[in-house]
Structure 1
Amino acid sequence: MGKLLRQHRVAAGLTQETLAERARLSGQAIGALERGERRHPHRSTIESLADALQLTEEQRTELAAAAARRRVPAARPGEPSADEPVVHASLPYDLPDFTGRTQEIATCLAAVPSGSSQTIRIIAIDGMAGSGKSTLALHLAHQCAELFPDRQLFLDLHGYTPDQEPVSAAAALEILLRRIGVPDGQLPHELEHSAALWRSRLAARRMLILLDNAVDAQQVLPLLPGSSGHLVLITSRHKLADLDGALHLSLEPMSEPDAVELFTRVVQRPIEDQQGLVKLAGLCGYLPLAIRLAATRLRHRSSWTPRDLADRLRDQQHRLVELSAGNRSVAGAFELSYRDLTTRHREVFRRVGLYPGHHFDSYTAAALCGFSVHDTRDALEHLANAHLLREHAPDRYTFHDLLRAQARDTADREEHASERKAALARVLDYFIAAVQHAHSVIDPLPGMGAAEHNLPPITDRDQAMRWWERERNNLLATVRAATQAQLDAQAVELAKALVPFHSHTGHAQDRHDVQCAALRSARRLGDQAAEAHVLVDLASACHYLGRRTEARTHYEEAITLARAAGSVLVEGRAVSRLGALCRSEGAYQQAEQHMRAALVLFRSIGDDRRAAVTLIGLAMVYERGGRYTESLRAFDEALPVIERIGPSVRVGRSYHGRGLLYRRLGRHQEAHEQFQLALRHAQSLHDREGELRALLGLGLVEYNQGKHQAALELLHRVLDMSHTDFEMIEAEALTATAAVHVALGDHDTAAPLHEEALAIVATHSVHDLRATILNNLADTYMAASRPAQAAARYRQALTHCHEIGLTHEETRANTGLAHALERSKGSP
């Protein structure tokens, strides 16, 4: 066959490379055929060669006959065929640098049948390309070989071999039967008869059979022995679910320590930079094939350090190109899996590779692909079974890092730029609708319609918040991708839709990052109203993060833009939020001016909901300034409106504000009732900030009533839940906890807690809270009989109170200072 092929190629004036290109084969395949290393290529390969060589019908027939498997005269009974000698041990060598897989080996060895076993043991090892399936199977086979004295057979089924068709079950049985000594003349012509003869010849023997690189269960089922005492090891890139009774083992990437050890063994030279090896292993995705290829490159580049190779691999666009050595490459291994897919499954693989997030469900994938959710879910399940995706939770999929790079490279190569952008636009539209739907479940507003049928099933607040938390990082990545792709209107719209969730959960940094990306898009759009809207939300994020100067700048810029655009709504939002910023800084007069101006703006456009929210802000300004009657009147005016038309989160904040007011007036029972209402409301909405503030209020009421243990339990809950997302609440809880310890006589515990709270507020310019904490710390020093230190803190508190007009804390500081000076026999 090889000689004839070469004659036709030379006659046609073609090189091996040219023929390979025309026949869509590799140059290596052509060379192997002409040298006789491959004597019986698949029929489709012969047809491709004949077409490329433009052979006549007679020449085609001659070439096909030369490539066909020929029957030779039957040998005498019991003798091997002339073509294939009897084989007793055909296992390829076990890699001397085999590393890791300790748990997998232990699991498999425990399943190996003993000498008296009455069962057959089938171990099916599946995993993604390059995960080390064949290496592990061979290592296991060599460890078990002595237990199977009759034969140890290895057969590559070529499920995924370049330029080679998978071996059919019939052809595989023919090879196996020859290897155990069945003469050609006795080989059956039917698959069923071949399988029966195979099972018959294996009876009463103990054999180890390694079937490597299977394409599916149907390929290997006829090859399984029917008698006990055998061990069959099977490897495949597919989960072989149809192999009933088998031990199924799915290989994951290696652990970091094992990956580093394998790298060290393969590189075969001392590496001092162990941290560099750790980084390299991570860049290889802990995939054994990638690690071997990278380590081989490092071994043959003696001047390279791990850092040099890491710099090459860090470039995601070229990482797969770098992971190659000789004729082997990670990309080539992945490509074989990809080419085995149907057209529809290839399309899904490419398009989910375009997803900017990390993990996704079938609804997100359907939007990317433009297919139905049902069809997309089927495709995702197939990709997961083929180990091209990983399903880490029900209907939640992710890529191995290197497979994600492969999917994106393939999409760049096979999808037009317009289609890639359209896929991102579809997922943006989906996320905008899904976020709005989830928010409508948490905080329904009048006029909201029913959800579209292609959105995830979110029917209650718990589901909505779980969905949001799952998608949180993906949504941020999607906004950034939209800005980068200049899908600006959708970037701004999605950022706007995300604001309520960021507000509910306190993820201020996420909110900041989302709005920064959206601001670039809004400015590119040239839409002043949209830009002002984004600036308000960016300023709110800065406010939460304690970056108050930035927040003020953004609010003032938003006001200017909103006025220029004639957007009363956005101007009102900016002015109202600027008032809230002033209130938090203790600038109560300015806060009142801004909030009254915002109230006029909202009422001028008939926005009762925002007007009511602004009234709540005014009530809180009045409360902090000691204007309790006006505060209660504002709460009473706003609450019925908020309860009727929302937003629901503000209902809880109203209860909380009234609780603060009643506590200030010494009406502790009424304060307790309002804080309880606020707590239940916040918990029903998954409003973390509202829940923390309500718990803090309840703790302070318990403290005021002398219930110190109950107060500590509530305050500790606040501290456990607040962390860095709500630093101001944490500071309030710390100073309140310290006050309880003072009441219990534990001054040594109290003072450091006050100091910790001061350290938090010092970086946030929260003057009113700072004054409160200073007074609390001074009280602690007085209780500990340290009047000089107390006087110093009271004086600091007075300075802040004078600056911001905080009357009740000023009175407290003056009274405390007088007592401190009297006790220390000093003078003011």
Structure 2
Amino acid sequence: MGRLLPRLEPAPDGAAALPLLIFAVTGMGGIGKTALAVEAAHQACAKGWFPGGTLFVDLRGYDDAPVTADQAVLALLDALGVRGPDLPQTTARQYDTYRTLLAERQDRTLLILDNTSDPSQFLPLLPGTDHHRVLITSRDRPDTLSVRLIDLETLAPDDSAALVTRALHDADERDDRPSREPDALRELTSLCGHLPLALQIAAAMLRRRRHRDIASLVTEIKEAADPTAVLDNGSRGTDLYGRSLVLRPVLETSYRRLPPDQARLLRLLALAPGTETGAEAVAALADLDMGAALGLLEDLAATHLVTPVQGGGGPASGVRWRLHDLVRAFGVRVVAGDAELVEEGEAARGRVLEFYCRWADAADGRLRWLPGRPEPERFADRAQALGWLDGERAGLVAAVQWAEEERYADAAVWLAACLARYLHWRRSFDDSITVGRAAREAAHRAGDPHREAIAWNNLGSALREAGRVEEAIDAHTRARDLYQAAGDHHREPHAWNNLGSALREAGRVEEAIDAHTRARDLYQAAGDHHREAHAWNNLGSALAEAGRAEEAVDAHTRARDLYQAAGDHHGEGIAWNNLGGALREAGRVGEAVEAYGRALEICREFEDWYRAGRTLHNLALAHEVAHHPSDARACWLQSADAYTRANAPTEATQARTRAEEQQ
């Protein structure tokens, strides 16, 4: 309302009239265009802006038989008092009379042409003077005309909850379900996609189910394959404008009006993984070149069936595209009802999965790349690889879960392996666990112990980082046993090394030392000196925890040197940090401060803000031991900032608390 109402205000006395007289409220079906237009008209008339009142006509642009301009002009003439014998007999004379009446009408009037689908419905009805104002509503954006557009979006969560609450209280002020079930109310509005029409239907259903709780409707919608089926089956009656409160016909009419290529893309987008899809992934999904895919996406956006989501102000190819949840559910239902469309959809999902596997593998290769190795394709540096993975993350994680379908299992399991390092880097442990479990189950069903072991190992690392240490120990033990059974001595030490870290987290330090030692020996035997550095590094941490500080110093020094020899600068930074800890435990505080400083430089170079926060944490402890409170406080504050950048609020709060204690 705040965007529309000011535009209807007349120009001040003596000022030139606004040259633009057409305003359009656009948005997907059910978004509340008519309600906004009518409410704006009421408020504008109440302010005295339109003493001539409002002329309203519903053009029913998305019905099977839309109202034509020739039909609409008769209704408008009737509203202007021209009827019976005064009505001209020919269409041309009817238009002449209509325009003449508006031109002679001194009282400023607002003309609302509601629910238009084509300019031919409203262009002949425009007054020939800028004295009056015209407001149209449409699901399509009239980009070819000089029209001031107001695109409506779905409601904010709080506004959605308020709409349902108000609807229930208006019917019965004693209805306290919204206050008793705030979480269920929030979930209901989310299931309705915050679409006003869906929310009105849900509220109407709740009014009829006066003695049932909101949670019961939530459960019913969640258990249904298509939320629109539940809402439409439970809907009755009409809205304030005499329209049926039903969702599916609204979506069907919008879908039927699409050209075949747009309809195909909409169906395929409904099958895409994740809630938003990048243009490249859309092109792969639809087997189109980028230009064709972008053109169709822009056409669908003009009908408000697809929403562009701008990411960081980049070029059009960087825009992401989102389907409303109810449009997505509708599209899935359309595909499921036709065998040919099912086959088309399966092929599309295979293409997008292949696209994700190729570039996730390349991005993972860049994250793991060391000097002297072949350059991965596409991504010139870590920042590019991380940027692509960040943008596609939701789709990548969702695509891995297709592993439960045999057709996609192999590719999805491979995709999961490509994502393990990235998700660990971003500390996305919930996603890591989801991905790990999907890959493990698919590999087990396929009878592939090698890939199952990889999945168990990655899952164990995610569980450990999430604080679920006993589950992590079990996962790494399972991975180790599978590697041993398969005779895979190349990867067996990975499981031993990770098992050692989990055992150390569980307080089983001596067992951890044994596991890391076993991993180190296996890596040495295989001549894998880079991964041998991982084992030395973890072994040093376990030795430090066992109180064997000087041995820990030696272990971390070995790790640092091996990382340096391999050109793994990031690994070297981790070793410097751990070496600092061992030196501090050994009472060599000055050397520890120097080691932490080297570690911090590398963390900042890689923008590894979580490890930067941890290094600064350790550096603050070293300054406290050295009785340098001001230096310690500065490090605590810097640690809090680094943890904040790493999205680690708990650690950031703890660091700020420690800084306050130094005052």
Smaller-chain TM-score bracket: 0.7 to 0.9
* 1:282 Cα deviation from its structure 2 partner: 4.1
| Whole-angstrom CA distance in 1 between matches of 2:380 and 2:77 | 61
1:358 to 258, 275, 278: 275
> How far did 1:407 drift?
2.0
Name the CA shift for 1:115/1:202 in 2 (closer, same or farther; >3 Å): farther
Q: CA deviation at 1:523?
A: 0.6
Amino acid of the residue matched to residue 260 of structure 1? Answer: V
Residue 278 (str. 1) matches residue 185 (str. 2): yes
- 2:22 aligned residue: 122
1:422 aligns with 2:347: yes
Alignment of 1:403 with 2:327, yes or no, is yes
SS at match of 2:56: strand
The number of residues matched between the two structures is: 629
Q: What is the DSSP-based 3-state SS (H/G/I as helix, E as strand, rest coil) of the residue aligned with 2:2?
A: helix
Aligned partner of 1:355: which letter?
Answer: A
Q: Among 265, 275, 281, which residue is 1:348 paired with?
A: 265
- For 1:196 and 1:644, the matched residues in 2 are separated by 89
Query: Are residue 156 (structure 1) and residue 61 (structure 2) matched?
Result: no
**Residue 256 in 1 paired to residue 160 in 2?**
yes
Query: Is structure 2 residue 260 aligned with structure 1 residue 339?
Result: no
**CA displacement at 1:673 relative to structure 2:** 3.3
Find the counterpart in structure 2 of residue 612 from structure 1. Answer: 533
2:308–2:322 contact (8 Å) kept in structure 1: yes
Aligned with residue 493 of structure 1, among 414, 428, 443: 414
Deviation (angstroms), 1:728: 14
How big is the shift at 1:264?
A: 2.3
Secondary structure at the aligned position of 1:526 is classed as coil
Please list the CA deviations of residues 442-497 of structure 1 after superposition, one character each: whole Å capped at 9, or x if unmatched: 44245445436xxxxx5543444344444444433332233356632223212211
Offset, 1:381:
2.2
Residues 115 and 233 (structure 1), Cα distance of their counterparts in 2 relative to 1, 3 Å cut: farther
Look up the SS of the partner of 1:660 in the other structure.
helix
Structure 1's 291 and 641: CA in aligned 2 closer, same or farther, altered over 3 A?
same
1:581, 1:318 → 2: CA distance? 43
Instruction: Compare CA radii of gyration and give the structure with the larger one.
Output: 1
The amino acid of 1:128's aligned partner reads M
Map 1:201-600 onto structure 2 (within 5 A): 202-205=102-105, 206-217=108-119, 219-244=121-146, 246=148, 248-253=150-155, 255-264=159-168, 267=171, 270-275=174-179, 278-279=185-186, 280-299=188-207, 306-324=214-232, 325-326=235-236, 328-394=245-311, 395-414=319-338, 416-445=341-370, 446-451=372-377, 459-483=380-404, 487-585=408-506, 587-600=508-521
Structure 2 contact 269–323 (Cα < 8 Å) conserved: no
Deviations 1:56-104 (A, max 9, x none): xxxxxxxxxxxxxxxxxxxxxxxxxxxxxxxxxxxxxxxxxxxxxx535
- The letter for the 2-side match of 1:135 is A
Give CA deviations for 1:563-585 in whole Å, capped at 9, x if unaligned: 11111122111112223334445
Given that residues 499 and 511 in structure 1 are in contact (C-alpha distance below 8 angstroms), is that contact kept between their aligned partners in structure 2? yes
Distance 1:677 1:635 in 2: 14
How far does the alpha carbon of each residue in 1:671-698 deviate from its partner, in whole angstroms, 9 at most, with x for none?
3333222223223333344222221222
Q: Which amino acid aligns with 1:323?
A: L
Give the superposition deviation at 1:377: 2.2
Q: Is the partner of 1:164 in helix, strand or coil?
A: coil
Task: Kindly indicate whether the alpha-carbon contact (under 8 Å) linking 1:263 and 1:281 is maintained by their aligned counterparts in 2.
Answer: no
Alignment CA distance shift 1:349-1:645 (3 Å): farther
Instruction: Quote the offset at 1:423 in angstroms.
Output: 3.0
- C-alpha distance after superposition, 1:27-47 (max 9, x if no partner): xxxxxxxxxxxxxxxxxxxxx
Deviation at 1:124, TM superposition (A): 1.1
Aligned-residue offset at 1:367: 2.9
Cα distance, 1:356 vs structure 2: 3.5
Q: Per the alignment, do residues 735 and 373 of structure 1 end up closer, same or farther by CA in structure 2, a change over 3 Å counting?
A: closer
TM-score, normalised with respect to structure 2: 0.83
What is the letter of the counterpart of residue 132 of structure 1?
G
1:160 deviates by 0.9
- CA-to-aligned-CA distance 1:573-628 (integer Å, 9 cap, x gap): 11122233344456554434333322332234343321232233334445555656
Preserved CA contact (<8 Å) 1:173 1:195: yes
Q: 1:212, 1:735 → 2: CA distance? A: 57
**For residues 302 and 542 of structure 1, what CA distance do their matches in structure 2 show?**
44
**Aligned pair in 2 of structure 1 residues 564, 308: CA closer, same or farther (>3 Å)?**
closer
What TM-score results when the alignment is normalised by the length of structure 1? 0.67
1:135 corresponds to which of 23, 29, 35: 35
* Match of residue 711 from structure 1: 632
Q: Per the alignment, do residues 216 and 670 of structure 1 end up closer, same or farther by CA in structure 2, a change over 3 Å counting?
A: farther
1:625, 1:376 → 2: CA distance?
60
Alpha-carbon separation, structure 2, partners of 1:367 and 1:409: 22
Query: Structure 1: how far apart are the matches of 2:67 and 2:89?
Result: 25
Aligned equivalents of 1:485 and 1:358: distance in 2?
23
- Once the two structures are superposed, residues 774-810 of structure 1 have per-residue CA deviations (whole angstroms, 9 ceiling, x without a partner) of xxxxxxxxxxxxxxxxxxxxxxxxxxxxxxxxxxxxx
Q: Distance in 1 between matches of 2:506 and 2:50?
A: 81
The CA deviation at 1:391 is 2.4
Change (3 A) 1:731 1:309: closer
- Contact 2:620-2:632 at 8 Å conserved across structures: yes
- Per-residue CA deviation, residues 607-659 of structure 1 (Å, 9 max, x unaligned), is 33212322333344455556566555544544354235455531211221232
Q: Aligned to 1:124, what secondary structure does the other structure show?
A: strand
> Any conservation in 2 of the 1:532–1:570 contact (CA below 8 Å)?
no
SS in 1 for 2:491: helix
Q: CA deviation at 1:665?
A: 4.6
Task: Give the CA RMSD over aligned residues.
Answer: 3.8
User: Contact 2:22/2:147 (CA < 8 Å) preserved in 1?
Assistant: yes
CA distance in 2, matches of 1:370, 1:152: 49
> In the alignment, what sits opposite 2:2?
103
| Aligned counterparts of 2:560 and 2:204: Cα–Cα separation in 1 | 71
In structure 2, do the counterparts of structure 1 residues 338 and 229 end up closer, same or farther at CA, with 3 Å as the change threshold? same
8 A contact 1:221–1:243 mirrored in 2:
no
Q: Are 1:154 and 1:212, in contact at CA under 8 Å, matched by a contact in 2?
A: yes
In the other structure, the counterpart of 1:693 is 614
* Residues 587 and 727 of structure 1, relative CA distance in 2, 3 Å threshold: farther
SS at match of 1:123: strand
1:391-413 per-residue CA deviation (whole Å, 9 max, x = no partner) reads 23341232322222112212222
Alignment of structure 1 residues 16-27 onto 2, 5 Å: none
* Alpha-carbon distance change, 490 to 635 in structure 1, aligned in 2, over 3 angstroms: same
2:41, 2:271 → 1: CA distance?
41
Instruction: Determine the C-alpha separation between the residues in 2 that align with 1:363 and 1:166.
Output: 40
Q: Is the 8 A contact 2:226 2:329 kept in 1?
A: no
Aligned counterparts of 1:676 and 1:318: Cα–Cα separation in 2: 57
Code of the residue aligned with 1:691 in structure 2: it is A
SS of the residue 1:353 aligns to:
helix
Distance in 1 between residues matched to 2:364 and 2:588, nearest whole Å: 36
2:594: which partner in 1? 673
